[in-house]
C-alpha cells in the first residue's frame, strides 16, 4: 500500500500527538517507580477516572474549564490518598513489590467496575471548538496540535521542576538515596506524597487530553497502563528522555498499525517493538541516562 502525502501527514501527526499524551502517563509512572519503587499498575486509572469525573461534572451543567480544574485537583488528591491510605502501609515490608503490585492491581479492578456502574460505556469530553487548518490537503482540528503542545509543555515543566526547584531536587535525592536524603533533613514521607500526587496529575492531564481527542471507556486506564509500562521498558527505566523518545515511537507505531492493518493489531505491533528492543538493547533506548 502506497501512502499519499495527505495520509502520511495524518498518520504521523496523530502518532506524535498520541505519543505526547502517552508520555505524560509513562513519565508519571516512571516518576513514581523511581522515587517510591512502586510498580503502579493503577497508573492509567488516574487518566480514566479524571476523564470521567470531568464528563460527569460537565453533564451536571458545570463549565468545561471549572470541570477540568476540579478533575485535575481530584487526580492530585486521589494520588495522595492512594499513597497515604494504601502504599504507605507496606513500607519496610520484605514483600513490598509484591504487595504494591496486588494493591494497585486491585485498585484498577475496583476503579474499572465503579466507572462501568456509574457511566456505563463510552464517553467523550466535549472539547472546545478552536477551529481547524489545512495541512498537505488535510483538514486538521486545531484541538489536536493544541493537545500535543499542552502535553509537551507539561513535560518541559516537570523537567524544570525536578532539576531547578527545592522539592524537585529533594525528590531526586530521595530516589537516589533515601537514607542520605533523610540525614540532611528531607522529609521522605512528604516527598512520597508529593511524588504520587504529581504522577497522578500528569496522568490525569493525559486523561483530559485523551478524553477530548478520543473516546473514554471504563477500560481505558488498563490500556494506558499497558502502554506506559511498555514505554518505560523500551525507553530505559529511569530515563526521562528515553521515556519521551519511546512514547513518540510507540505513538507512531500505533498510528501506522491502526491505519495500515487495523486497530486490532495495535497491541501486537507495540509488544513486537518491546520484544525487539529487549532482545537488541535490554537496557532500553537510553538506558542508564537521566
Q: What is the pLDDT averaged over residues 64-76?
A: 97
The conformational region for residue 129 under phi > 0 = left, psi -120 to 50 = alpha, else beta, is beta
Mean pLDDT of 271-284: 89
Instruction: Tell me how far apart the alpha carbons of residues 148 and 16 are, in angstroms, rounded to a whole number.
Output: 8
Overall average pLDDT of the 262-286 stretch: 88
Query: Does residue 197 surpass a pLDDT of 60?
Result: yes
For residues 228-254, average pLDDT: 93
pLDDT for the residue numbered 135? 72
* Rounded Cα–Cα distance for residues 30 and 25 (Å): 9
Cross-strand bridge partners of residue 134: 139
pLDDT-derived band of residue 287, with 50, 70 and 90 as boundaries?
Answer: low
pLDDT of 289 > 70? The answer is no
Q: What percent of the chain has pLDDT over 90?
A: 73
Residue 248 pLDDT: 95
pLDDT at 111: 96
Confidence of residue 196 (pLDDT cuts 50, 70, 90): very high
- Read off the pLDDT band of 105 (50, 70, 90): very high
Q: Is the pLDDT assigned to residue 148 strictly greater than 60?
A: yes
Place of cell 470541570: 67
Say yes or no to pLDDT of 232 above 60: yes
Q: Taking the CB of residue 93, how many other CB atoms lie within 10 A of it?
A: 11
The more confident residue out of 280 and 71 is: 71
Does the pTM surpass 0.85? The reply is yes
* pLDDT of the residue at 152: 95
Mean pLDDT across the chain = 91
Query: What is the mean predicted confidence (pLDDT) over 157-176?
Result: 94
Give pLDDT tens digits for 84-103: 999 999 998 989 999 999 99
3-state secondary structure 62-109: CCHHHHHHHHHHHHHHHHHHHHHHCHHHHCCCCCHHHHHHHHHHHHHH
Q: Which residues pair with 133 in a beta bridge?
A: 140
Q: In this predicted structure, what is the pLDDT of residue 112? A: 95
**pLDDT value of position 136:** 66
Q: Which distant-in-sequence residues (6+ apart) come within 8 Å of 250 by Cβ?
A: 19, 22, 227, 230, 231, 234, 270, 273
- The separation between CA 228 and the C-alpha centre of its own chain, rounded to angstroms, equals 6
Q: What is the pLDDT of residue 159?
A: 95
Integer CA distances (angstroms), 38 to 41, 117, 171, 258, in order: 9, 29, 14, 32
Query: What is the model's pLDDT at position 129?
Result: 82
C-alpha 197/C-alpha 110 separation (Å) is 20
Q: What mean pLDDT is predicted for residues 15-42? A: 95
Query: Regarding predicted confidence, which is higher, 131 or 220?
Result: 220
Give me the mean pLDDT over the 61-80 stretch: 96
Please determine, for residue 115, whether its predicted confidence score (pLDDT) is greater than 60: yes
Cα dist from 123 to 49, 54, 238, whole Å: 12, 11, 34
Give the mean pLDDT of 68-86: 97
Amino acid at each position: 500500500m502506497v501512502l499519499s502525502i495527505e495520509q502520511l501527514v495524518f498518520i504521523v501527526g496523530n502518532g506524535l500527538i498520541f505519543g505526547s499524551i502517552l508520555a505524560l502517563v509513562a513519565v508519571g509512572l516512571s516518576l513514581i517507580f523511581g522515587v517510591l519503587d512502586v510498580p503502579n499498575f493503577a497508573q492509567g486509572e488516574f487518566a480514566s477516572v479524571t476523564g470521567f469525573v470531568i464528563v460527569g461534572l460537565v453533564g451536571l451543567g458545570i463549565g468545561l474549564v471549572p470541570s477540568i480544574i476540579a478533575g485535575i485537583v481530584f487526580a492530585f488528591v486521589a494520588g495522595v490518598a492512594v499513597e497515604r491510605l494504601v502504599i504507605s502501609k507496606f513500607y519496610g515490608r520484605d514483600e513490598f513489590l509484591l504487595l504494591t503490585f496486588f494493591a494497585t492491581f486491585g485498585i484498577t479492578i475496583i476503579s474499572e467496575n465503579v466507572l462501568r456502574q456509574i457511566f456505563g460505556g463510552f464517553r467523550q469530553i466535549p472539547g472546545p471548538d478552536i477551529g481547524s487548518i489545512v495541512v498537505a490537503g488535510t483538514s486538521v482540528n486545531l484541538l489536536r496540535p493544541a493537545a500535543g503542545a499542552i502535553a509537551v509543555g507539561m513535560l518541559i515543566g516537570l523537567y524544570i521542576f525536578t532539576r531547578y526547584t527545592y522539592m524537585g531536587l529533594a525528590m531526586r535525592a530521595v530516589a537516589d538515596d533515601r537514607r542520605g536524603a533523610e540525614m540532611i533533613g528531607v522529609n521522605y514521607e512528604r516527598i512520597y506524597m508529593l511524588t504520587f500526587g504529581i504522577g497522578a496529575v500528569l496522568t490525569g492531564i493525559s486523561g483530559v487530553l485523551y478524553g477530548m481527542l478520543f473516546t473514554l471507556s471504563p477500560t481505558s486506564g488498563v490500556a494506558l497502563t499497558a502502554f506506559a509500562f511498555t514505554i518505560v521498558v523500551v525507553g530505559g527505566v529511569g530515563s526521562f528522555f528515553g521515556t519521551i523518545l519511546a512514547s513518540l515511537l510507540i505513538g507512531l507505531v500505533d498510528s501506522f498499525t491502526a491505519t495500515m492493518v487495523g486497530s486490532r493489531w495495535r497491541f501486537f505491533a507495540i509488544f513486537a517493538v518491546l520484544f525487539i528492543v529487549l532482545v537488541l538493547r535490554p537496557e532500553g533506548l537510553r538506558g542508564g541516562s537521566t
